[in-house]
């Protein structure tokens, strides 16, 4: 498990992976479109294990919300700086060249 320090951006999300965003009141499980089937099927159990293993003694009833890439609700996107709903439809090379 890797922790991303500082402000979150969409660049922190890897489309070939399943990622967890912990906002304390709830845990989001984001599933990238290119994630392997094994990762997708393990997403919910992984989130439950994450909550259970938290050294802060989390409430095991902490809600988990599964979010699919391209269908992110405002309760998820609000945690990211400058969320762009067209981000996933842009060509990654074009996106990169705009930032150079």
Superfamily of chain region 11-99: Severin (3.40.20.10)
What are the residue boundaries of the structural domains of the chain, listed by start?
11-99
HSE, side-chain direction, 13 A CA sphere, residue 82: 5
Strand boundaries in 1-100, DSSP class E: 18-22, 27-31, 64-68
Kindly report, residue by residue over 62-95, the tens digit of the pLDDT. Answer: 999 999 999 999 999 999 998 998 888 866 666 5
Asked whether 4 and 81 are in contact (CB, 8 A), the reply is no
**pTM listed for this prediction:** 0.84
Paired tokens of 25 = 């009141």
């Amino acid at each position: 498990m890797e922790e991303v320090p500082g402000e979150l951006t969409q660049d922190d999300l890897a489309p070939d992976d399943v990622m967890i965003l912990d906002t304390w009141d709830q845990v989001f499980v984001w599933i990238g479109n290119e994630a392997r089937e094994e990762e997708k099927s393990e997403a919910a159990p992984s989130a439950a294990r994450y909550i259970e293993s938290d050294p802060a003694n989390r409430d095991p009833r902490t809600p988990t919300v599964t979010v699919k890439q391209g269908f992110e609700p405002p309760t998820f996107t609000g945690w990211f700086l400058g969320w762009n709903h067209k981000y996933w439809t842009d060509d990654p090379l074009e996106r990169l060249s705009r930032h150079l």
